[in-house]
Structure 1
């Protein structure tokens, strides 16, 4: 039992002794921190958490240097040219020159200086490189790789050897098909790079474009057993597995006499079957559908399958101009419950031709018999082609033409207007609807047609009489009655009150006023006729 105890103690002692003697000062790899700095008598310099001070000089060419840390003196030594001192195996001071500057007369030193080089213990540092054969992978593209190949290396770009390095790789959710995710290296020297590590992963089939992060972590130790780590990553993008292509074509340019043709097709360019695809289309403004067709269908397409003529129909132009066709839309719901949609392009179509419109208006819509009325007809060509236009109008019954022309014939330029007017007189009472003006046209392409205007209404009413003027002038609204009015007095006696005749209620001199108003009305009518 005693021998076993002695053996155990010796084993423990050996282990601790081995760890304590794991390295010597000569094994430390140093990195120059300050190549050269000069210190005079009492001067000091700070490097990190250490303070180096020149305490004293000797005529023999030595300088007394102290090194302190956090205000605590760590070491003091007298150093000559080429001498070194170290503290904590973390900092090293090397004297590169000592100048005593001894005065020849007095034999004393005058402003002596020492030049020193400061070195710090070197530390390892890792540089991880992750490369992939592509940055983006598209499973729909036959030229795109079906496997993701990643290559990794670890380099020690620090200033000391790294020991016992563990490298751990994470694929970020990608499925590994070849290679190892963990590696160990006993040592990586300064500037050394490990042999490349190759991994292979599947390209997943996804409904949505997704980015994956391939990462690696290196953990190692320096000569004193301190841990050093470094992490690096590389992002790769995986395109979605589905692709619908909606195509819509339309006749680019037609005349008003021609027909535009529309074709809509859908292609499944993905690598999976798409079920219950709803495709809808709509007609462009300015044209109308000539065919009996429903512009909504539900289809299913296998991978690489297409419908070349899902919708095929013709359109009749209604008006010249430039139009943009609305996009066709294809929608479906994936097994993941998410809805997806694509749209076609919006092709343009140009319709050429004249476009004639007529507008008819009157100077007054309420007149008395014999009043003269001005009728105006405006003709517009809002199209993009010239046309020969013949416009004509007719008079209503019981109307007579006083002056003017009721039509014209000429070539109307595109985007132009033309108006003509004439004067009529209405004699019959009542509401009169004027006939529509008409315009026939024809262009150089042989496109022709006829347009009509609106139909204004004129109300012909009787003129105001003298009696109506008198009533309006006096505003007399007293009621008259042939029945006696009954009242009851305090003695219950009845009395009868009879209304006076209307002429007896007229105030004196009112007849002269009526005569003057009558003469004034005659004078006004006479002036209007002239």
Structure 2
């Protein structure tokens, strides 16, 4: 018994509170003429409503003539002017627009739909204006059960009487509802504006690159639009590509919709720009437009795509490069290929230089390469030539792991015949190296301090320096030292240092291990002197003979 009493008390308390809320929520709905079905009519299609079927008979810029059928039997011809709505057997037929020569015709029915949204709730006091957006509202007269409002928008001004619970809309731009009136000069007012369609559509294709013989499958996805009467879209491209269908429409959008279209006759070797003009109409006939755009690459009639597997290796593993070729033509084509590798990557097998590819056919060429040095390498695209045209495939990247050893030998001190030499060994790679380095001394020299051998694991990015002092003999050329190293895969490699010339207080560095010895240098100078002397004697002798002959 107690719970019954409690329930009654709760209802008594909440009923006055819930009633205004229900009433307020009802004000956002309105009885409107809603488009239930619509279609861009052409000579092959038609629009259904009830037991009727409508087809296009004729159209011009101002009017359309429709053929109305019922149960596949001709009923009559029916004329509509642009923007007109005429009732036929309880159904409204509206000629909405004409675009690209096609009339858009819709079936209109009365419905209660969500069309307004609350934007403000104000207390109106006598003779005190309030602003709501671009509108000004002032209560000018209060009666026992009514209030007179002056509503202004720019140069427009309206005077209207409102009773409690009354409402009025102004050109479907603003709606005012009065809920409580105090004859002492106070009234509560709710303000509403039309809900503007928020299209928020997205444009999708199944990929971003196509060949000329392919078809683009396009989708325009529209999220739920409970406050949109209907939408139309028009699809165009930057070329003469064919779009089917290029005009579409939809209504009943509470759950959203997806538009589908196909684009063919793609122009070869170009960028195709797809533009979708999407228009949403609210229940008052106002139009809101959004434009979507997407850029698609259309490849050449011959397509070349390069790929590499694996894209990350160490210097001991070969790599396979694949070159996919496709001929979208209806005839065969002869191709010439030019492929170039970086200096530190070697061919194991080479791609063919020429081949023929049949109509609407494809092939994949696979060839192997071997990197000899670590690093990140970009392999240029392969040039493919045909019929005086050259296209280039995409580039690919290869990341090679391994040790990379460099050795620099330099003179740090020279005092008479005493020379101090420093050798710096660096691992510029990204893997450790098990290394042994042996340096060579100049002929007839004597090692006084330090050592000429270094053996250990040199970690990636690490450098070590060794130093030794020698007493020089007659030979002042320090030959290149040699380092032998291996990586964790057991691959062995060899690298040499530079050659070092020790001259007086200076030292010169040469990468070439072949250099002139001092005795060889003297011989060269002597030979050059003799040749120069012979040339001078020949010239003087020739002049003497010429003068003697002339004098005789």
Which TM-score bucket, shorter chain as reference? 0.3 to 0.5
TM-score (norm 1): 0.47
Higher relative contact order at CA 8 Å, sep ≥6: structure 1 or structure 2?
1
Which protein has the larger Cα radius of gyration, Structure 1 or Structure 2?
A: 1
More strand by share: 2
